[in-house]
C-alpha cells in the first residue's frame, strides 16, 4: 500500500506521525509525497482549538474529494480530533474508511485494514516505539518524553484529549535518543505538554535533571533543546546544568500565558506573576546568554485593560527572543467556557497591540545581535538557525557561504531584520 501522510498540529503530534509511519514502512508499505501517487491518505489531526479543528476538517474534505474523483482509494483519520470528538467525526464524515484513536496507532498496519471506527482508550503508560523515522530534516528530531497533562489550565482541552500525564521511563528515553544519534541526528528537542514535570508519575518527583544528565553521557550527542517548561518548575539546578555544558542549547521554551495575577488565577495556572518574574530573573542570572521563548493568551475571560497593560509592560521589560500571541478560543468542556467572554474585536485589537510591542522588542534585540558570534545549525547549505531558534517555529538565518547541512558551528551575525538574520560562518 502506498500512503500519503498529512500531519497537523504540534511537534508532539508529529512524533506520533513519525512512529506510525515508520511502522507502516517497516511492514512493507511505501510512503509517497504527493496524494495523487497514493492508494490511501492518512490524516493525523489536531483538535486543540477551534482553528485547528477547522484545519483538520478542511484536510478531511480535501482527501475525500480526491477519493470521490477516484484518485485515491481510501482515507484514514486519527489524532486529537478523533480523540476529542470520537463518534462525531464518523457522523460528520461517513465517507471516511477508517477512523482510529491515538492508542490504535501502535498497531497501525492492522488498524487501517479495518473499516469504520477503531476507538480504544488511551494507554496507561507510554510505549517505546518499535520503529521511528524523522519527518523533519534528518539532523534534527523531536523526542517525546511524556504525554498528557495534569495541570488542568482553565482554557485547555489537552487533558481530555491526551489524558493524564504519562512519562516514558528514563531507560526508554535513552534508548530512543541513542538510536537518533546513531542515525545522524545532531539536535534532539525534548518535548511534552510539561517537560519540567517529567518523571513525576513514575518516580514520585520530577526527574528532568536526572534525565538530562544521563542523556549528556551518550557518545556522539550533538545538542539537546528543552521545550515546554512550566514556570515554577524551572529550577536553579536546571539552569546551572544548562549553563555548565555546550551540549544543551542555551534555550528554553516556557509558555507563560499571562503575567497579571487575576488572569493567571482564572486560568488556573499554578504560579503567580511574582514567581514568573523570579524564574526569568534567575535564568538570566544563571545563564546570561539564555534564549527565552514563550506564548501568551490575550482576551481571556475577565482580562481587564489594566491586566493587558501589565502584560505589555512585562513583554517590553523581559525582551523574549521568540514569542507567540494567541487570542483566547472558547472551547467546550473547559472551565473557561462558562466564564464571561470578551468581545472578538477586543481580542483582535489586543493581539495586534501585543505583537506590535514584540516587534519593537525584536528591533532592539537585533541591534545588539549584529556583530556578535552565536552558535548556529545548518538546515540546508545556505540557511539554518541559531541556538536561539527551535526548528519549525522560530526564526531563521541565511549564510554568506555554504555549510554542510546538519553542521553546528560558530557564526557572526552581520544583518538582522525581524526574525530573519544573516550570518557569516567562522572557520574553526
**CA distances (Å), 24 to each of 21, 33, 99, in order?**
5, 15, 17
Q: Are residues 7 and 89 in the same domain?
A: yes
Instruction: Answer whether 250's CB lies under 8 Å from 284's CB.
Output: no
Q: Are residues 110 and 9 in the same domain?
A: yes
What CATH number should be reported for the domain holding residue 234?
A: 3.80.30.20
- Domain assignment of residue 83, yes or no: yes
**CA distances (Å), 184 to each of 174, 222, 223, 360, 368, in order?**
15, 9, 12, 38, 34
Cell of 184: 545522524
Q: End of a domain among 368, 398, 414?
A: 368
- Give the pLDDT score at 204: 96
Q: What is the spatial distance between Cα 293 and Cα 272, in angstroms, rounded to a whole number?
A: 19
Q: What is the spatial distance between Cα 18 and Cα 214, in angstroms, rounded to a whole number?
A: 24
Q: End of a domain among 368, 383, 405?
A: 368
Q: Are residues 71 and 169 in the same domain?
A: no
pTM of the model: 0.91
Q: Are residues 153 and 109 in the same domain?
A: no
Q: Are residues 9 and 82 in the same domain?
A: yes
How does pLDDT run along the chain (428 residues), one tens digit per residue?
Answer: 999 999 999 888 899 999 899 999 999 999 999 999 999 999 999 998 888 999 999 999 999 999 999 999 999 999 999 999 988 999 999 999 999 999 899 889 999 999 999 988 877 777 667 666 777 789 999 999 999 999 999 999 988 889 999 999 999 999 999 999 999 999 999 999 999 999 999 999 999 999 999 999 999 999 999 999 999 999 999 999 999 999 999 999 999 999 999 999 999 999 999 999 999 999 999 999 999 999 999 999 999 999 999 999 999 999 999 999 999 999 999 999 999 999 999 999 999 999 999 999 999 999 999 999 999 999 999 999 999 999 989 989 999 999 999 999 999 999 999 999 999 999 75
- Domain assignment of residue 210, yes or no: yes
Q: What is the spatial distance between Cα 24 and Cα 196, in angstroms, rounded to a whole number?
A: 32
Cell of 277: 518574574
- Domain assignment of residue 400, yes or no: yes
- Domain assignment of residue 125, yes or no: no
DSSP per residue, 256-289: -B---HHHHHHHT-SS-HHHHHHHHHHHHHHSTT
User: Vertex 410, ends 243 and 385: CA angle to 5°?
Assistant: 85
Q: What is the spatial distance between Cα 87 and Cα 94, in angstroms, rounded to a whole number?
A: 10
What CATH number should be reported for the domain holding residue 396?
A: 2.40.50.140
Q: Are residues 295 and 398 in the same domain?
A: no
- Domain assignment of residue 358, yes or no: yes
Q: Are residues 397 and 353 in the same domain?
A: no
What CATH number should be reported for the domain holding residue 49?
A: 3.40.50.12160
Q: Are residues 175 and 146 in the same domain?
A: yes
- Give the pLDDT score at 122: 79
- Give the pLDDT score at 115: 93
- Domain assignment of residue 402, yes or no: yes
- Domain assignment of residue 129, yes or no: no
Which residue segment(s) compose the domain that 284 sits in?
A: 140-368
Which has the closest alpha carbon to 189: 391, 332, 362?
391
Q: Are residues 110 and 144 in the same domain?
A: no
- Domain assignment of residue 127, yes or no: no
Q: Are residues 410 and 378 in the same domain?
A: yes
Number of domains making up the chain: 3
Q: Are residues 319 and 401 in the same domain?
A: no
- Give the pLDDT score at 379: 95
Q: Are residues 257 and 146 in the same domain?
A: yes
Amino acid at each position: 500500500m502506498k500512503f500519503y501522510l498529512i500531519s497537523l498540529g504540534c511537534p508532539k503530534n508529529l512524533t506520533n506521525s513519525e512512529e506510525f509511519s515508520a511502522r507502516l514502512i517497516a511492514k512493507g508499505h511505501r510512503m509517497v509525497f504527493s496524494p495523487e501517487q497514493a492508494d490511501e491518505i492518512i490524516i493525523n489531526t489536531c483538535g486543540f482549538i477551534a482553528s485547528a479543528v477547522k484545519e483538520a476538517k478542511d484536510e478531511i474534505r480535501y482527501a475525500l474529494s480526491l477519493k470521490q474523483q477516484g484518485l485515491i482509494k481510501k482515507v484514514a483519520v486519527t489524532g486529537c480530533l478523533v480523540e476529542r470528538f470520537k463518534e462525531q467525526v464518523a457522523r460528520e464524515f461517513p465517507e471516511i474508511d477508517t477512523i482510529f484513536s491515538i492508542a490504535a496507532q501502535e498497531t497501525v498496519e492492522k488498524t487501517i485494514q479495518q473499516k469504520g471506527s477503531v476507538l480504544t482508550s488511551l494507554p496507561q503508560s507510554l510505549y517505546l516505539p518499535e520503529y521511528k523515522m524523522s519527518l523533519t530534516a534528518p539532523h534534527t528530531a523531536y523526542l517525546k518524553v511524556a504525554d498528557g497533562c495534569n495541570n488542568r489550565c482553565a482554557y485547555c482541552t489537552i487533558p481530555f484529549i491526551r489524558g493524564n500525564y504519562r512519562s516514558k521511563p528514563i531507560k526508554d528515553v535513552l534508548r530512543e535518543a541513542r538510536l537518533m544519534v546513531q542515525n545522524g541526528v545532531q539536535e534532539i528537542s525534548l518535548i511534552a505538554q510539561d517537560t519540567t514535570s517529567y518523571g513525576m508519575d513514575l518516580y514520585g518527583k520530577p526527574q528532568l535533571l536526572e534525565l538530562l544528565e544521563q542523556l549528556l553521557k551518550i557518545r556522539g550527542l550533538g545538542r539537546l533543546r528543552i521545550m515546554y517548561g512550566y514556570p515554577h518548575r524551572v529550577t536553579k539546578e536546571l539552569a546551572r546544568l544548562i549553563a555548565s555544558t555546550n551540549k544543551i542549547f542555551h534555550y528554553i521554551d516556557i509558555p507563560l500565558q499571562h503575567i497579571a495575577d487575576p488572569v493567571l488565577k482564572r486560568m488556573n495556572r499554578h504560579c503567580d506573576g511574582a514567581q514568573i518574574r523570579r524564574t526569568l530573573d534567575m535564568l538570566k542570572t544563571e545563564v546570561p546568554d539564555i534564549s527565552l521563548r514563550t506564548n501568551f493568551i490575550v482576551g481571556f475571560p475577565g482580562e481587564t485593560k489594566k491586566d493587558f497593560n501589565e502584560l505589555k509592560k512585562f513583554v517590553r521589560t523581559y525582551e523574549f527572543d521568540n514569542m507567540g500571541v494567541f487570542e483566547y478560543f472558547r472551547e467546550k468542556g473547559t472551565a473557561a467556557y462558562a466564564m464571561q467572554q470578551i468581545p472578538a474585536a477586543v481580542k483582535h485589537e489586543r493581539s495586534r497591540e501585543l505583537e506590535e510591542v514584540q516587534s519593537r522588542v525584536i528591533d532592539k534585540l537585533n541591534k545588539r545581535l549584529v556583530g556578535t558570534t552565536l552558535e548556529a545549525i545548518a538546515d540546508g547549505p545556505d540557511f539554518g538557525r541559531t541556538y536561539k531558534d527551535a526548528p519549525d517555529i522560530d526564526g531563521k538565518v541565511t549564510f554568506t557561504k555554504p555549510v554542510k547541512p546538519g553542521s553546528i558551528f560558530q557564526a557572526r551575525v552581520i544583518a538582522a531584520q525581524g526574525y530573519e538574520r544573516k550570518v557569516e560562518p567562522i572557520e574553526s
